[in-house]
């Protein structure tokens, strides 16, 4: 078995996108968790325009919008067509460059470094990004601090019956493997308790296109 090269998760993610954009088949890129589960990275979806189920979700977004983990900027592009003010935040320089080529506004960095200025009416946590850092309560609490009164969070969830959990995962590509890092999966059935601890309330949950979503609202102080 050939020896794998240890790279950062960001490097592997960027290499997969670069290969796809260069017309190379990136079909062997996976997120692998410590329990042995393997999920193929949906690189093509991440680089294309927003599909119908995401366009329907974006009907609920009110600007200004913060897209957390915006990747190559497909949601920002879709919001721009609607003339809704939107900004992304993304740790990958490569993805930021692609998003900016789409005329999107993007902050390069982590959401945890975004100043706690409550200026956003909506925040997006799609593509599993509620799992960032393996601490969804901390992430949602941070997002709540960025929202205006009555602000909303549009979040993608795991299907009903899926247990919420935190595991170490790594990315694997052809000849490459990343370091382990924590990630969380939040189930459709358990988002209510998590949202409440972060000062948010679930106001809607739905499924479309084989995916599961929720809308959270910032609680008003009593």
9-27 pLDDT, tens digit per residue, is 999 999 999 998 987 665 6
* Sign (positive or negative) of CA dihedral 190, 112, 142, 16: negative
Q: Which neighbouring-strand residues pair with 184? A: 166
List the one residue out of 176, 181, 179, 203 whose CA is nearest residue 191.
Answer: 203
Domains held by the chain: number: 1
- CATH number for the domain that contains residue 141: 3.40.50.150
Query: pLDDT per residue over 137-196, tens digit each?
Result: 999 999 999 999 989 999 999 999 998 999 999 999 988 999 999 999 999 999 999 999
For residue 106, give Cα distances in angstroms to 30, 115, 148: 26, 15, 20
Q: pTM (2 decimals)?
A: 0.93
Parent domain of 177:
5-218
């Amino acid at each position: 078995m050939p020896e794998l090269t240890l790279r950062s998760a960001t490097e592997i993610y960027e290499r997969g996108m670069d290969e796809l954009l260069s017309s190379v088949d990136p079909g062997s890129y996976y997120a692998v968790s410590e329990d042995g589960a393997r999920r193929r990275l949906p690189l093509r979806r991440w680089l294309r325009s927003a599909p119908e189920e995401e366009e329907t979700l974006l009907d609920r977004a009110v600007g200004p919008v913060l897209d957390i983990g915006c990747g190559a900027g497909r949601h920002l592009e879709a919001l721009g067509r609607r003339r809704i003010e939107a900004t992304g935040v993304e740790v990958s320089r490569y993805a930021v460059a692609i998003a900016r080529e789409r005329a999107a506004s993007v902050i390069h960095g982590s959401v945890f470094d975004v100043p706690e200025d409550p200026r956003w009416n909506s925040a997006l946590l799609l593509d599993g990004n509620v799992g960032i850092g393996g601490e969804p309560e901390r992430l949602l609490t941070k997002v709540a601090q960025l929202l205006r009164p009555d602000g909303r969070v549009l979040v993608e969830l795991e299907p009903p019956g899926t247990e919420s959990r935190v595991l170490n995962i790594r990315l694997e590509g052809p000849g490459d493997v990343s370091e382990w890092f924590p990630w969380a999966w939040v189930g459709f059935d358990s988002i209510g308790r998590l949202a409440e601890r972060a000062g948010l309330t679930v106001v809607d949950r739905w499924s479309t296109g084989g995916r599961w979503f929720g809308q959270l609202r910032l609680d008003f102080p009593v």
